Amino acid sequence: MRIYKVGGAVRDRLLGIPVTDIDRVVVGATTEEMLAQGFRPVGADFPVFLHPKTGEEYALARTERKSGRGYGGFTFHASPEVTLEEDLIRRDLTINAMAEDDQQNLTDPYHGQRDLEARLLRHVSPAFAEDPLRVLRVARFAARYAELGFTVAPETLELMRQLSESGELEALTAERSWKEISRALMENQPQVFIEVLRACGALKVLMPEIDALFGVPQPEAHHPEIDTGAHTLSVLEQAAQHKQPLTVRWACLLHDLGKGLTPEEEWPRHIAHELKGLKLIKAVNERFKAPRDCQELALLVGEYHTHGHRALELKPSILLELLQSFDVYRRPQRFEEFIAACEMDARGRKGLEQRSYPQADYLRGAAHAARSVAVQPLLEKGFKGPELGEAIKRERLKALKAYKEAASA
Ligand code: ATP
Ligand code: MG
């Protein structure tokens, strides 16, 4: 049997960037031979094994054939006769379809190295169109390698467009889509992921709520970039530049969805877009079964981001409601993430990326003031049950009034 490194490990070594996970393909072996050598089988669908010592993945060379809709609609064929070239041709991109042996001898039948040099993400064969997940994968690789100058080859973008129009994208499961979306959002240029999806028509299918933001104007005084879609991409870009976690990036992406619902005669104003957007945010959250913390933060940021921007003008009673809505007493971290998302929203505006955001420290100070109210003295005064709750609220309000006065003095 012959063993080769394939996929990302070869690609990233040639690009001179650190290799994180190593995928290997085994040619000329049977399942029985693998088991006899101590490899442990994983996965019911594919002939994939874990190395007995390193735990790394080894897959038997295989061919595949489309036999129905979606990802389940594939038949695989693995046997010792399947050649390396046959295994490589089923892969998505030419730069992912190279293999190398122990001595770093490269097998590159589909010219991945040429495309690496040309900085092109190009599909290997027309079979690309058999798995709609590849649309998301290509957009994700575009987001990852944009800083190295990579773009999607025009003919690949055309295939992605055909896939998007064919209705095949709808066959993707929430789990497979979310895995790609969440990884793409954590890349250095996540806005490129959205741009590529939009360019091939996939955004309209997967997240029509975001697609609808392009072409929607906002008031130039607050938004020199004017376009709501362009603004959303800038906010996402800021979130990546500031190394924000996935929760914040997800909330940034969805924060302005309500602006897509504004009747044209109200443009460029967007009255109550925060509340109007909530049902859209909920729909996107559920469509991809986003993790609970991502869902929650997106909804809260959607509802309250303009509160964040107006923090210094908020009456103490509204400030208190805001803090209560976030349950800042038990969930201080979530409030920090809200503040971060608001700041990214403020910076995601053309020419205003570097401006300061004093609202952030003001909100932190307010949270601190409210959290500093001690419960023990109220218990000692004999407050119980709902009355205790009311008394705590009164004390917090007092603390916030004092905080606001001191801050404006
Ligand atoms: P990463 O650095 O993100 O791990 P990778 O290229 O190694 O990138 P993997 O998801 O680990 O990506 O997959 C390993 C290889 O398997 C890919 O390089 C590609 O050749 C192939 N591959 C994975 N998923 C698909 C798919 N849906 N369609 C076609 N080929 C795929
Ligand atoms: Mg990999």
Q: Given ligand 1 and candidates 13, 20, 23, 86, which is best to mutate, with the most ligand atoms within 8 Å of its CB?
A: 23
25 lines ligand 1 (CB under 6 A): no
- Answer yes or no: is pLDDT of 70 > 80: no
Crossing angle for the helix pair 358-371 and 385-408, nearest 10 degrees? 140
- Answer yes or no: is pLDDT of 71 > 60: no
Please state, rounded to an integer, the average pLDDT across all residues of the chain. Answer: 95
Backbone angles phi, psi at 151, to 5 degrees: -135, 170
Ligand 1: distance of its center to the CA of 69 in Å? 20
| Higher-pLDDT residue of 46, 53 | 53
DSSP-derived pairing of the beta strands 2-6 and 23-27: antiparallel
- Answer yes or no: is pLDDT of 299 > 70: yes
- Tokens describing residue 303: 């509802």
Omega cis (within 30) before 219: no
Q: Which of 268, 275, 330 is nearest to 307 (CA)?
A: 275
DSSP-derived pairing of the beta strands 151-152 and 48-50: unpaired
Residues 249-261: tens digit of each pLDDT? 999 999 999 999 9
Separation of alpha carbons 210 and 205, rounded Å: 10
Residues 6 or more apart from 373 whose CB is under 8 A from it?
A: 392, 395, 396, 399
- Answer yes or no: is pLDDT of 69 > 70: no
pLDDT of residue 27: 97
Ligand 1: distance of its center to the CA of 8 in Å? 7
Would residue 41 be called left, alpha or beta, if left means φ above 0 and alpha means ψ between -120 and 50 degrees?
A: beta
Separation of alpha carbons 291 and 15, rounded Å: 33
Ligand 2: distance of its center to the CA of 117 in Å? 20
pLDDT of residue 349: 92
Q: Which of 31, 33, 25 is nearest to 59 (CA)?
A: 25
- Protein residue with its CA nearest to atom 2 in ligand 1: 8
- Tokens describing residue 36: 């006899």
Residues 229-280: tens digit of each pLDDT? 999 999 999 999 999 999 999 999 999 999 999 999 999 999 999 999 999 9
- Answer yes or no: is pLDDT of 72 > 70: no
Residues 356-375: tens digit of each pLDDT? 999 999 999 999 999 999 99
pLDDT band at 65 (very low <50, low <70, confident <90, very high): confident
Ligand 2: distance of its center to the CA of 187 in Å? 15
92 lines ligand 1 (CB under 6 A): yes
Separation of alpha carbons 251 and 233, rounded Å: 12
pLDDT of residue 307: 98
Percent of the chain with pLDDT over 70: 98
94 lines ligand 1 (CB under 6 A): no
Separation of alpha carbons 64 and 186, rounded Å: 31
pLDDT of residue 75: 82
Ligand 1 atom nearest to 23, measured from its CA: 14
On whether the CB atoms of residues 340 and 244 are closer than 8 A, the answer is: yes
112 lines ligand 1 (CB under 6 A): no
pLDDT of residue 385: 94
Region 91-97 average pLDDT: 98
pLDDT band at 215 (very low <50, low <70, confident <90, very high): very high
Crossing angle for the helix pair 228-241 and 332-347, nearest 10 degrees? 120
Q: Given ligand 1 and candidates 22, 57, 91, which is best to mutate, with the most ligand atoms within 8 Å of its CB?
A: 91
Residue 94: how many CB atoms within 10 A of its CB? 27
Residue 230: alpha-carbon gap to chain centroid: 17
23 lines ligand 1 (CB under 6 A): yes
Separation of alpha carbons 196 and 178, rounded Å: 17
Residues 310-356: tens digit of each pLDDT? 999 999 999 999 999 999 999 999 999 999 999 999 999 999 999 99
